[in-house]
Every structure is written in C-alpha cells, then in structure tokens.
Structure 1
Amino acid sequence: MKPPEEVLRRLELTVTRKLDGLLQGDHLGLLPGPGTEPAEARPYEPGDDVRRMDWNVTARTALPHVRDVVADRELEVWVLLDATASMDFGTGLMEKRALALAAVASVGFLTQRTGNRIGAHVLQSGAVRRLPARTGRAHLMALMRAVMTLPRDGASEPRMGFAMDQLRRTVLRRGLVVVVSDFLDPVETWETPLRHLGVRHQVLAVEVTDPRELTLPDVGVITLVDPETGRKQEVASGSARLRERYQAAAAEQRDRIGAAVRRAGAAHLALRTDRDWLRDLIQHILLQRRLARLAGGAG
C-alpha cells in the first residue's frame, strides 16, 4: 500500500489539474459562492446590479427594489464520512472506502483553494469522531491523513441518522455539509435527519456504490456476509430467477435512496467504484452551475 502522503499528492494533482478550468469565478457548483446570505431589500439606486432585483418586493410596492447580500467570504464546510464496515467493500477499480476518501479529498482541495474552513465528522464503530474545521493546506493534509489511516471497522449497528443529528446539533454556523456514504441504512432512519441538516446548511449527499451491490454474478453457491452485523447466508447464485430478484431489489433500494435524498432537499452526487469518479464529479459541477444560472435568470 502506498504511503498516505503519496496518495494525497497524487489526488491533489489529479483534482486540481482536472478542475482547473472550472475553478475560475466564485461559483464552483460544488461549493456555494461567497455572499450568499440574503440581507434586507432596499429601493433600487442607479448603478445597482439588476441581477439583485427583488421582484416580489418590487411587485408588492410598485417600486423597484434590490436585495443585498451579507458579505461572508469564509465558508465553513463539514464532511460527514461513513467509515463503517459496509464501506470496506469493492469489486470495481477501488473499494468504496477509497472512493469515499477521493470524494472527501476533492471537497477539501476545492475548499482549501478558495480559503474556506473544513472539518469532518467520521462515523465508525457506532461512534462519531470530530475533526475541527480550520483553514490551510497543512490542516487539510492532516485531516486527510487522519481519515485515510482509519482502521477497518468491525461489525456495528448502522447509525448514519444519529451521526447527522449530532453534526446538526454541534455545527451552528451556516455552511456546506457533504455527507459521504453508501446510504445502506434503512431510509427511514436517516431521511428526516438529512432534511433537518438542510434547514441550516446547504447539503450535498455523495452516494458511493459498487457494481456487485447491484447485480449478483453466476458463480455457484456463495456465502454472503453482512459487514455491519456479521450475519452470513449461503446463496445459490446459479438461479436466474434469484439473480433477477436480486437485481430488481437492488435497483428498488437505490431508487428509494435517491428519492429520499431529493425529498430531504439535498443535492445528490452518485459515484461508483467501476466508473471515472472525477468525470462524474465534473458533470455534477457543470449541472449545478447550469441550474444556478437558470435559477438566477428566473429570479
């Protein structure tokens, strides 16, 4: 295994080089731009930016109004990383854990480049470890080394909903929360906590999956182990009917996850261990930029 420092350097070069053309301007599509906190509306004055027009107040008063924003250049970004046993699985190009760390690193490099603060809450063994939010490359590298050198998790009850609630109670300043998980806990245990996070913060849900979680190969009798609980079950994978049912159930599960994320009001970025995760990240950024431009034009 390569040393964490070498892995981090490679990740940093990969992310910054690939995203260099997208890093111009205030809005990255992944991180919100500065000055997004709305202030009071006031009458329009010559020279005001017409893009700040408050059309609701203008229509109500019959006089043109604009809405300023409170300048707040320093954004606070928090990552909630699922480091439970189900993330220690992978049959694609990498394990889900490695893909999750790549996502965290990408958020970190974007955050550090724009001078924002980043911290992390890490869920493992049923408990949450808190890494404080600070600025600077040295802090980011220390944070990434801490999460990259985490031990493998043993069997423990999934508690993503608990981790979301704890982050919401302890992080009071408005900012961006990035939840990185496979979201395999029952939807009803985390959907409401995720929605509550969105009351104060902008939320991005990064869903990490592996192809073997979506389809069952025909390899004879196999023993399936639930990494979260340690329970085992033998399955005859040669049954075409069983493989069809497995694929349908897996697709339904992912549909439920996506629907729950949307209902919670969070942005959704799906990454797979057998795909080019950086390409998927770039596509997400471009899509969010287009949506932001459309929303601005509609306002």
Structure 2
Amino acid sequence: MIPGEVLRKIRRIQIRTSHKVDELLAGNWHSAFKGRGIEFEEVRPYQVGDDVRMIDWNVTARSDMPYVKLFREERELAVRLLVDVSGSQNLGTTTQTKRELVAELGAILAMSAIKNNDKVGLTLFSDDIEKNIPARKGSRHVLRIIRELLYCQPAGSGTNLRRVLDHLNRTSKRRTVVFLVSDFQDSGYEASLKVARRRHDIVPVVITDPLEGKLPNVGLVRLQDSETGQVVTLDTASRKNRQWFEQKYREESEARDSMFRRMRLAPIHLQTGCDLVEPLRNYFHLRESRQ
C-alpha cells in the first residue's frame, strides 16, 4: 500500500501540473505532433488537380485509367518517456532536485498526451533498464507514471543512454514520439541515437542544475561522483582548477548540442528551480511553425 504522504505528494503534482496543461499546453499538443503516422486508406480515380506522385501505377495498369492512393492521418499517437534515474538526478542546489523537476515534466507530458486521447508509456533507466511501463490511457495511468518518477529506487547509479536507445529500437515497432529526458552525462550513444532518430520522433530534454557547471571557492574539498562513486580531492581555491572544471563542462555541453544539431534534433533545455512551462510552450510553438 502507498503511504498517505506519498499519495498527497503525487496528488499535489497532478493538480499543479493539470492547471498548466489546461492553460498552456493542451491546445498545442496535437498541432505540434499531428501527422506522426500516415496509413493507406483506399484508391480512387484520378481527378484534375490531384498530385501525380500519388498515382497508384499497379492499379492504373490493370484498369487502363489512372488511380491515386488516398491516405489518412493516424490521429492517435504513441508517446514514450525515456527517463534517466541515475545518481546524478538527485542533485539539486535550488528549490528542487533534477528528479523532482523530471517528475513534474513527466506529469505535464503524460497529461497532455492523455487529454488528446494518446497513449503514453514510461521507461526508467540508469546503467540498465530499471522499469518499463506499457503505453496506456487514463488518469490512473498518469498517477502511476508520477509515482514511478518520484519513488522508483534504481538498482544502478550510472547512465547508459546507448542501452535504453537500443531497448527502444528493439521493442517499439510503431513510430513513436519519444521524450529522452536526461542530463546526458554519458558518451558512446551517438550510433544508437541515429538509429532511433530514423525510426522515431526523438525529443531530447536536457536537465541541468545552475551550479553543476560552476565550482565555488570553498578551499580543499573531497568530491564524489554520484554515478561512479569515484572520490577526488580538489583545491577549489585554485583559480586554475575552477577554470578547468567550468571549461570541461562547457566543452561537454557544446559537444552534446553539436551532435543534436548534426542529427537535426531540437532539444528542450530545463533547469531546476525554473518554471518549465515557458520552455515547453516555446518548443511546441517552434514545432508547429516548422510544420
């Protein structure tokens, strides 16, 4: 049985995010993601003004008159959230941790999908697949997604983006709108992302904290990597060390964003302690204008 305190927290997130969906996002969801699937419906005789590229040459050859193919848009989308629950998601130097931000984001995306009659599924991953929830509809399903985002206890602490993308490519045959939510503190996943990009509609969501790219001057400190457990001693009073740390963070961020540009992927950047609605709304409007 779920403790009452946990249920109240899940309910608060649901209520808070429900208002945001109603006011800002629900109306933009279908216009941003419409037309993700097109399926053949029938053929009919060619009419003046029809696109000649739609002519069905096989039927035309058998009937001695031109026929064109008709297609219809699949109105129901398949949506999947791939969410990083590695050790680095517990970082939070503002009013919330990365994981709390991701739970709110997941609630907004799931409710936006449900309100538009789309199915939504969830895959939690660290250095392995932690949990895979099939795509379904309904408010009870959204509550389960919020609960798992907040309280799943991962067995692993690292991040393996290649593994979760390979899992997606193996298990999702239908074209899917995929929100890949992570801080992307990993490497070696580019090839798997290319394969997923060809099969699915991939939306990278980059989660950051304001201070993770900065090193404060607090003297000699011991730092532990939350994913690998490695411990190092660093003199933060050294300006050279602080500059090295910040430069390394910038280079890794630029390399990641450069890879997204090469694949023509438009990421959403979200930061703990900041309102996530405006970046989401801007992204939805950008997709709508491109279509």
Mapping 1:273-292, distance limit 5 Å = 273-292=272-291
Aligned partners of 2:232, 2:203: CA distance in 1, in Å? Answer: 35
Q: Give the greater-gyration-radius structure (CA).
A: 2
Aligned positions, number? 275
Q: Could you tell me how far 1:226 is from its partner in structure 2?
A: 0.8
Q: Secondary structure at the match of 1:211?
A: coil
The one-letter code matched in structure 2 to 1:12 is Q
Partners of 2:31 and 2:89 in 1: CA distance:
28
Distance 2:105 2:31 in 1: 15
CA contact (8 A) 1:84 1:228 kept: yes
Structure 2 match to 1:241: 240
After TM superposition, the structure 1 stretch with the greater mean CA deviation from structure 2, 214-223 or 146-155, is 146-155
Q: Which amino acid aligns with 1:283?
A: N
- The equivalent residue for 1:24 is 27
Q: Runs of 5+ in structure 2 lacking a partner?
A: 55-66
Number of the residue aligned with 1:208: 207
Amino acid at match of 1:146: E
> C-alpha distance in 1, partners of 2:175/2:68?
23
CA–CA distance in structure 1, aligned partners of residues 70 and 183 of structure 2: 39
1:97 is matched with 99
Relative to structure 1, the CA distance from residue 207 to residue 289 in structure 2 (aligned partners, 3 Å threshold; closer, same or farther) is: same
- SS class of match (2:27): coil
Letter of the 1:147 partner, please give it: L
* 2-structure distance, mates of 1:222, 1:89: 17
In the other structure, the counterpart of 2:195 is 196
Residue 175 of structure 2 corresponds to: 174
Amino acid at match of 1:260: M
Question: Does the CA contact (< 8 Å) of 2:37 and 2:175 recur in 1?
Answer: no
Q: Structure 1 residues 201-210 or 1-10, which shifts more?
A: 1-10
Question: Which residue of the partner structure matches residue 223 of structure 2?
Answer: 224
TM-score by length of 1: 0.81
Deviation at 1:117, TM superposition (A): 0.8
| Distance in 1 of aligned mates of 2:262 and 2:6 | 37
Residues 26 and 274 from structure 1, CA distance in 2 versus in 1: closer, same or farther, beyond 3 angstroms?
closer
In 1: Cα distance, 2:289 partner to 2:75 partner: 23
Q: Distance in 2 between matches of 1:33 and 1:254?
A: 31
C-alpha displacement of 1:162 = 0.8
Identity, % of aligned pairs? 27
Q: For the Cα contact (< 8 Å) 1:195–1:266, is it kept in 2?
A: no
**Mapped partners of 1:228, 1:289: distance in 2:** 37
Provide, for residues 77-125 of structure 1, a one-character-per-residue CA deviation record: whole Å limited to 9, x for no partner: 1111111111111112211111122221111011111111111111135
TM-score after normalising by structure 2: 0.83
Q: Unaligned regions of 5+ residues in structure 1, if any?
A: 59-64, 293-299
Deviations 1:147-201 (A, max 9, x none): 3211265544x32111110111001111211111110002xx1122112112121
The answer to whether the Cα contact below 8 Å between 1:27 and 1:289 also exists between their aligned partners in 2 is no
Q: Is the 8 A contact 1:36 1:69 kept in 2?
A: no
Describe the shift of the 1:25–1:87 C-alpha distance in structure 2 as closer, same or farther (beyond 3 A): closer
Letter in 1 for 2:38: E
Deviations 1:250-281 (A, max 9, x none): 11111111112232343310111132222222
Indicate how the Cα distance of structure 1 residues 42 and 5 shifts in structure 2: closer, same or farther if over 3 A, else same. farther
Mapped contact 2:44–2:68 kept (Cα < 8 A): yes
Select between 126-135 and 221-230 the one with higher mean Cα deviation. 126-135
Q: Distance in 1 between matches of 2:279 and 2:106?
A: 14
Residues 28-39 of structure 1 mapped to structure 2, 5 A cutoff? 28-29=31-32, 32-34=33-35, 36-37=37-38
